[in-house]
Amino acid sequence: METTANLAKQKELAAYLFLHENQEDENAYIDPQSLTVYMQRACNLMSVVYLVQEMELATEKEMEAVLYEIGKSVYGTEKSQLRNFFRDLYLLCFMRKEGPRLGMFVALAGLDNFKTTLKDRLANLYNF
């Protein structure tokens, strides 16, 4: 049952990422190969949300460094993989492909608020 629920969440998140990335293209189509990529990105992003919940750092520099390390450990170390990490995180947090520097945003919003935002956005994903 747990696996089925996680797979359903992963599919919803993959659809969310695809729709928000392609919102300008009314003819956008997700082929099986792209679906696999989006499912992997969704799985990675779910892992990131879990790892962020474990963060307990206070300064902007520390948060930026930890987020970067989380991105490298989950998405990979290549520049394009890290770009996907930040893009996916921005899509989840702000429903945009880009946003403010996350360390600065987390420092201003507060770490607890950031954690709550990620958990709430993931939990409310079914209502997008």
| Tens digits of residue pLDDT in 69-79 | 888 988 889 99
What is the CATH T-level fold of the domain 2-127, as seen in this structure?
A: Arc Repressor Mutant, subunit A (1.10.10)
Amino acid at 122: L
User: Given this model, what pLDDT does residue 128 score?
Assistant: 42
Rounded to an integer, the average pLDDT of 74-86 is 89
Q: Over the chain, what is the mean pLDDT?
A: 78
Supply the pTM of this predicted model: 0.69
Give the separation between CA 110 and CA 38, rounded to whole angstroms. 29
Choice among 18-22, 107-111, 113-117 with the minimum mean pLDDT: 18-22
> 35-59 pLDDT, tens per residue?
787 788 888 878 887 777 777 766 7
CB 102 within 8 A of CB 64: yes
pLDDT at 1: 40
| pLDDT exceeds 70 at position 23 | no
Region class of 76: left (phi > 0), else alpha (psi between -120 and 50), else beta: left
- Rounded to 5°, the CA angle 89-119-56 comes to 80
